[in-house]
Amino acid sequence: MIWDRVAPLYDLAVNTLNRRVYYGTGSAVARLIRPGDTVLECACGTGTITAAIAPACARVVATDYSEGMLKQAGKKLARYPNVVVEQADITHLRYADNSFDAVVAANVIHLLPEPGEALKELKRVTRPGGTIIVPTYVIPKKRAHTIFLKLISRCGVHFQEHFDPASYWAFFERMGYARVTYRVVRGRIPCVIASFTKEY
């Protein structure tokens, strides 16, 4: 799996390319979490956002499909006693309905062939009144970003969706989520954080 191979160098690469957004996203997501929350994070990668969330809540279950990413996350998150690191598939979560106060899935929706199905799973495991938080890199249509996409494609990373801010908002509307709040973390490759409440 490509993510297993790139995991040891992932932080270095993203810090070099997009450090401001990489860490700024974690801080922005943490502000959406409440102190007593039990949080599920899907596609946690090396655990950078998890490390920002952990001090802000009661408990985090940090998951990823890639064993290589989980290995890196385990090292980074070992100092947080309220974090559990587990393998999970965002499209088939084994957690019970209404299990978490908040669910986070960062920078993964654009990689999935059926992102709508993943959103249904995130909603299923969120408690009524809980928060679903979906940060995603958006790629403005500029030549430099087109070159970036070609480079990462050669490494084996393929985007199923190439969101810009407008198409990301439209995606949630198509999925039937009308009351979505958007926050932009600006940088070389911006990130739009979509969040919405699971209705009772």
Q: What is the pLDDT along the chain (200 residues), one digit of tens a residue?
A: 666 776 666 677 777 777 888 889 999 999 999 999 999 999 999 999 999 999 999 999 999 999 999 999 999 999 999 999 999 999 999 999 999 999 999 989 988 888 889 999 999 999 999 999 999 988 766 544 555 555 555 555 556 567 888 889 999 999 888 899 999 999 888 899 999 999 87
Which distant-in-sequence residues (6+ apart) come within 8 Å of 99 by Cβ?
38, 40, 125, 126, 127
Q: How far apart are CA 94 and CA 135, in angstroms?
A: 22
CA atoms within 13 A on the CB side of 10: 22
The β-bridge partners of 83 are 60
- 70, 87 contact by CB (below 8 A): yes
How much is the pTM? 0.88
Q: Domain spans of the chain?
A: 2-198
156 burial via Cβ count (<10 Å: 0-12, 13-18, 19+)? exposed
Residue type, 101: D
What is the DSSP secondary structure assignment for residue 56, as one 8-state letter? G
2-198 topology per CATH: Rossmann fold (3.40.50)
Helices (H) and strands (E) in the chain, counts: 6, 7
Where is 192: in which H helix or E strand? strand 191-197
Nearest alpha-carbon partner for 165 in 139, 134, 195: 139
β pairing state of 126-137 and 191-197: antiparallel
